[in-house]
Amino acid sequence: MVLEDLRSQFRVFGEALSQVSDTVDSHTERLGKLEEHLANLRIEMNFVKERLAQIRQNQVTRNEFKLLETRVARLERVRK
C-alpha cells in the first residue's frame, strides 16, 4: 500500500515536472524571439539616432535664420 502511494505521488510529480518543463521551453522560445526583435529595434534606433544627428547638424539656428531673413529683406528692397 505504501509503495503504491509513493508510485502514485511520483507519477503526479513527474507529470507536473513535465508541464513545468514544457512551460519553461515555451518561455525560452518566446524569450529568444523577443531578443531577436529587441536586437532589430536597437539597430533601427541607432539608425534613427544617426539620422537625427545629421539633421541637427544641418539645422539652421535662429540667429542664422534671422541673418538670412535680414539679407533677403535687403535684396528685395534693392530689387524694387
Percent of all residues in the chain with a pLDDT value above 90, rounded to a whole number: 79
Give the pLDDT of residue 43: 98
Give the pLDDT of residue 22: 97
As for how many domains the chain has, the answer is: 1
The predicted model gives 21-50 an average pLDDT of 98
Give the pLDDT of residue 79: 81
CA angle at residue 12 from 6 to 13, to 5 degrees?
A: 85
Instruction: Tell me, yes or no, if the pTM score tops 0.75.
Output: no
Domain limits for position 49: 2-79
Give the pLDDT of residue 41: 98
Q: What whole-number distance in Å separates Cα of residue 38 and Cα of residue 31?
A: 10
